[in-house]
Amino acid sequence: MVTGQGPVTITDVARLAGVSPGTASKALNGRRGISAGTALRVQQAAERLGYQPNALARGLLSGRSFTVGLITTDSFGRFSIPVVQGAEDALGPGRILVFLCESRDDRLREEHYLRALLERRVDGIIVTGRRQDRREPIGRDLRIPVVYAMAYSSDPADLSLVPDDEEGGALAIRHLLGTGRTTIGHVTGPRRFRAAVLRAAGAEQALTAAGLGLAGSRTLYGEWTEEWGRRGVDLLLRSAPGLDAIFCGNDQIARGAADRLREVGRRVPADVALVGFDNWDVIAAACRPPLTTVDMNLRQLGRAAGERLLAAVDGHPGSGLQLLPCSLVVRESSRPPESRSP
Amino acid sequence: MVTGQGPVTITDVARLAGVSPGTASKALNGRRGISAGTALRVQQAAERLGYQPNALARGLLSGRSFTVGLITTDSFGRFSIPVVQGAEDALGPGRILVFLCESRDDRLREEHYLRALLERRVDGIIVTGRRQDRREPIGRDLRIPVVYAMAYSSDPADLSLVPDDEEGGALAIRHLLGTGRTTIGHVTGPRRFRAAVLRAAGAEQALTAAGLGLAGSRTLYGEWTEEWGRRGVDLLLRSAPGLDAIFCGNDQIARGAADRLREVGRRVPADVALVGFDNWDVIAAACRPPLTTVDMNLRQLGRAAGERLLAAVDGHPGSGLQLLPCSLVVRESSRPPESRSP
DNA sequence: GTGAAAGCGCTAACAG
DNA sequence: CTGTTAGCGCTTTCAC
């Protein structure tokens, strides 16, 4: 590479190769109607000068910027990260670049970001947020496609992708039933979280389908914390002393539950099986014993968001609230009693 | 806003306002030499049409894109996130947009991203990564400024910003000494981590300065896990049964230590004080008792990286490895025994 | 096969 | 004060 003043333009390359800019352009873009010799000379000239095509100029001409915006309200929390990663997967390393915009739940910041994205002529926007809270559409008449992930738009004409929390709850219960548990309690987060309610609904439905009910007869709503997990165990043991499993609304609650069960002398999983939700590795793996938990497959959700956005950019838009499958990650905390190693 | 075909251009605005594009441009950009009436008519026309200036065209002309790249090798781990947030703080919501590039420690991905960023004419690049591992410069003769944060460049001509781990270690020890502890052990992560070694060095130095040595006489290197924290406590209690404090190389180790101390009947902080490192809220706050810990102020580090990058873009580059201060977050795990509530 | 010219949207410079 | 012109870097006609 030769060090000169300012970025190298295609005109510089053309001059060095002894051709016109138009010809250089064709050669570099593999257009046909160029002799092999010329093509080679242009390639070499570009190489020598370290030529990088100016994407701004290209975008101006083509009307596409090969750029998308990613607006997250979640302060980039632990749920947004895998979604973002998945989206990047779908968009490819360097093919389409992602503008990161953290709105931090601030409407004004969001507007600023939206304007900035529109000015930069992004090809589309992904909106992601905390759990699957319903939210206002990001803007009206945007003329570019938008996909919501995790958070979902209140406008059903928009495409929103969210994990199927209800099915996730059912998954947890069916697993416990399948490993011989019958008296199952449920401790979860605050009732105002849609996710908590949906998971509980899925759990209760799965129990009902098996002709059973919830141990302690009702879902214990509380906080998303270990502290609440510990207290939840105390409450459950009082109302349902014979319980043999607890499904927890997230991994922190489950971890608190595991600690408490150990403290009161109940063995996990021998006496009581435990299933969490989120598959948050630091928690689930550090739990004693390691935690069986429901994974929302957020990375795949992010990837799906990226793919759906690309499809929309190519003229194949989608719409509606779409549920993506959760899956179960089985670890030690729910091992059936029969198969315990000696 | 009027819905038409394709984005609204300044020519559309000019036509509606009955002026030339040049005049419209001046009016919209607050250039003087425009009558108040014209200015108003142009503003209104722009408003009516929902005009958004095309940043690609502007960038083509000005040579600046008001865009920076952020390359992270860390798979966006927990350390990168606050750095990214801080950088966004410095760059302002929408003023300068950030391209997110996760290289995932893949050299090829990194090259793709770098090329893509250069083609898009970013004004600068921030490189961030895991802890403060030394790394190769991202490229040569880039002609745009680069700032390294957390990870640092092996080329001293580059500007690298990293937390002062050594001072952080000293901070922890001085706090423990200041609250009356004298027999202090140190359990930390793998020796191959520079951060582990630096923190240990700072700790030992602070002890030496007080005429003391490490309880158990040497730093216990191991893993960054709770499991190792528990084992570390066992080892320390064997070699230094009378110890009254443990400084742990990260919060997970500290949390494991807290659990183990409780299990063996040592009260925290009454009998043994505990200090962690990272101030990772989920761990530090959920710990029983809540954990005193060293905070690397990563968000400020990210902000500093953003500011230094802007300065470099404006022609004021920096260089060298610069250490940014850690601070101590005091919680219950290190409360002096005297002041315990009844 | 190759070159010249026009134009993407915008702004700076210069006329009027 | 306002309009015209030129050009940022690139690609795409359309001549030759």
Q: How far is the CA of B61 from the C1' of C9 (A)?
A: 10
Residues on chain A touching B112 (C-beta within 8 angstroms): 93-94
Q: What's the CA B181/C1' D4 distance, rounded, in angstroms?
A: 81
- Asked if the Cβ of residue A156 lies within 7 A of any atom of strand D, the reply is no
Could you tell me the strand order of the sheet in which A184-188 lies? A220-221, A184-188, A245-248, A273-277, A292-295, A327-329
**pLDDT, tens digit, 9 for 90 and up, residues A281-311:** 999 999 999 999 999 999 999 999 999 999 9
Q: Measured in whole angstroms, how far is the alpha carbon of residue B137 from the centre of its chain?
A: 19
Which ranges of A29-180 does DSSP label H, i.e. alpha helix? 36-49, 55-62, 80-91, 107-119, 165-178
Which bases of chain D are contacted by protein, using any atom under 7 A from a CB? 1-5, 7-13
Q: Do A286 and B101 touch (CB under 8 A)?
A: no
Q: State whether A94 and B81 contact (CB < 8 Å).
A: no
Q: Alpha-carbon distance A325 to A252, whole Å? A: 22
pLDDT band at A94 (very low <50, low <70, confident <90, very high): confident
- Across the interface, do B100 and A99 touch by the CB < 8 Å criterion? yes
Residue A239: which H helix or E strand, with range?
helix A226-239
CB contact under 8 A, A101 and B93: yes
A226 CB neighbours in chain B (<8 A) are 286
pLDDT digits (tens, 9 = 90+) for A76-86: 678 888 999 99
What was the pLDDT predicted at B315? 94
* Cα separation values, B323 from B190, B193, B251, Å: 22, 17, 21
Residues of chain B falling short of pLDDT 50: 340-342
CA atoms of B250 and B196, how far apart (whole Å): 9
Residue B170 contacts residue B184 (beta carbons within 8 Å): no
Using the predicted structure, report yes or no on whether residue A341 has a pLDDT greater than 50. Answer: no
Bridge-partner residues for B126, per DSSP? B70, B147
List the single range of A96-100, A127-131, B201-205, B337-341 with lowest mean pLDDT. Answer: B337-341
Cβ within 8 Å of residue B286, ≥6 positions away: A225, A226, A227, A252, B255
A3-36 confidence digits (pLDDT tens): 556 789 999 999 999 999 999 999 999 998 899 9
pLDDT of residue B32: 86
Q: Give the nearest chain B residue to A89 (CA atoms).
A: B102
**Which amino acid, one-letter code, is at B130?**
R
CB contact under 8 A, B93 and A75: no
Q: Within a 10 A sphere around the Cβ of B270, how many other Cβ atoms?
A: 12
A196 in Cβ contact with A189 (< 8 Å): yes
pLDDT of amino acid A340: 43
Whether the CB-CB separation of A202 and A328 falls below 8 Å is answered with no
pLDDT at A192: 93
Inter-chain contact B120–A85, Cβ cutoff 8 Å?
no
Q: Give the nucleotide at minimum CA-to-C1' distance from B61.
A: D8
Nearest-CB residue to A54 (from B81, B103, B121):
B121
Q: How far is the CA of B25 from the C1' of C12 (A)?
A: 11
Residues of B in contact with A116 (CB under 8 A): 55, 93-95, 97
Phi–psi pair at A108, nearest 5 degrees = -70, -45
Q: List the structure tokens of B226.
A: 């709770």
- CA A126, C1' D15: Å apart? 46
Q: Side-chain half-sphere of B112: how many Cα atoms within 13 Å?
A: 17
A63/B59 Cβ within 8 A? no
B7: which chain A residues are within 8 Å (Cβ-Cβ)? 121, 143
The pLDDT tens digits for A145-154 are: 999 999 999 9
Shortest CA gap B214–chain A (Å): 28
**Alpha-carbon gap: B204 to the closest alpha carbon of chain A (Å):** 29
Out of A60, A226, A227, whose CB is closest to B57?
A: A60
A53 touches strand D (CB under 7 A): yes
Q: How confident is the model at residue A208 (pLDDT cuts 50, 70, 90)?
A: very high
- The separation, in Å, between residue B72 CA and nucleotide D1 C1' comes to 51
Across the interface, of B65, B112, B140, the residue whose CB is closest to A56 is: B65
**Does the structure show a pLDDT above 60 at A236?**
yes
- pLDDT at A69 exceeding the cut of 90: yes
| Separation of CA B58 from chain center | 31
Give per-residue pLDDT as tens, A241-268: 999 999 999 999 999 999 999 999 999 9
CB count in 10 Å sphere of residue A170? 22
| Interface touch B3/A225, C-beta < 8 Å | no
Higher-confidence residue: A205 or A139? A205
Distance A40 CA to C11 C1' (A): 37
**Spacing of A210 CA from D13 C1' in Å:** 71
**Rounded distance, CA B123 to CA B64, Å?**
6
Q: State which amino acid sits at residue B228.
A: W
> Smallest CA–CA separation between A158 and chain B, in Å?
18
Per-residue three-class SS string for chain B? CCCCCCCCCHHHHHHHHCCCHHHHHHHHCCCCCCCHHHHHHHHHHHHHHCCCCCHHHHHHHHCCCCEEEEEECCCCCCCHHHHHHHHHHHHCCCCCEEEEEECCCCHHHHHHHHHHHHHCCCCEEEEECCCCCEECCCCCCCCCCEEEECCEECCCCCEEEEECHHHHHHHHHHHHHHCCCCCEEEEECCCCCHHHHHHHHHHHHHHHHCCCCCCCCCCEECCCCHHHHHHHHHHHHHHCCCCCEEEECCHHHHHHHHHHHHHCCCCCCCCCEEEEECCCHHHHHHCCCCCEEEECCHHHHHHHHHHHHHHHHCCCCCCEEEEECCEEECCHHHCCHHHCCC
> Mind listing the domains of chain A with CATH numbers?
2-62 (1.10.260.40), 67-163+297-325 (3.40.50.2300), 165-295 (3.40.50.2300)
% of chain A beyond a pLDDT of 70: 96
- B76/A81 CB distance under 8 A: yes
Give me the DSSP letters along A150-164: SSEESSTTSEEEEE-
Cα-to-chain-centroid distance, residue A258:
27
Interface test with B, best of A2, A81, A97 (most B CBs within 10 A): A97
B57 touches strand D (CB under 7 A): yes
Instruction: Tell me the CA distances in angstroms from A163 to A169, A305, B73, B272, one per residue in order.
Output: 11, 12, 28, 44
Q: Which residues, in sequence order, are CB contacts of A107 under 8 Å at separation 6+?
A: none
Calculate how close chain B gets to A258, using CA atoms only, in Å: 13
pLDDT greater at residue A4 or residue A49: A49
Nucleotide nearest A62 (Cα, C1'): C8
Interface-testing mutation among B68, B97, B118, with chain A (most A C-beta atoms within 10 A): B97
3-state secondary structure of A187: strand
